[in-house]
Amino acid sequence: MIKKQSIWALSLFSLILVLSVYYITLPSEIEVSKEKAKVDVSEVTDNSIIATLKTENEEEKNKKEKELQEIIIKEESTKEEKNNAYEELKLLNVLKGQEEEISLKIKNKYKLDNFIKITDDQVRVILIKNDHSVKLASEIMEFTQKCFDKKMYITVKFEKEKE
């Protein structure tokens, strides 16, 4: 017959093993997201305004990502700090995906170079178009809102094409 102490020790050991594997494999998942980010930067359009905005946004997100990874990897960090950093890192990756998805949808539907930045409940849309149209801006706002479940505050700005 197995003693209660043996079961307890085995359960504790199993839990420690699972958590160890979780934290060891976590940095490799982060490396995969870094590789994806590098691929995304190479897909920047020729328009210098959009390229500049995308580069700045990517650098900002990469900096934040690096800070969060350091918290996760640091041995001094508490479990709560690591979990919060991990959740924030997941949210950051979700936002990146949403920005890319909306940008691609606008490019496909309206044939316009664009830049999308999502911050909390705000979405900033910058379109490259010489003539400014209130109707187009309104359409883009409605189109963008349909991509979200909750109410977002969407701004649309037009930039002139570089010659």
Contact 68, 50 (CB under 8 A): no
Name the average pLDDT for the chain.
83
The answer, yes or no, to whether residue 37 has pLDDT greater than 60, is: no
Percentage of the chain exceeding pLDDT 90: 49
**115 pLDDT tier (thresholds 50, 70, 90):** very high
Task: Name the residue ranges covered by the structural domains of the chain.
Answer: 4-158
pLDDT at position 136: 93
> pTM higher than 0.85 for the full model?
no
Does the 4-158 domain belong in CATH 2.170.190.11? Answer: no
> In this structure, what is the dihedral angle of CA atoms 49, 52, 58, 59, given to the nearest 10 degrees?
-150
Give the highest mean pLDDT range of 15-24, 26-35, 97-106.
97-106
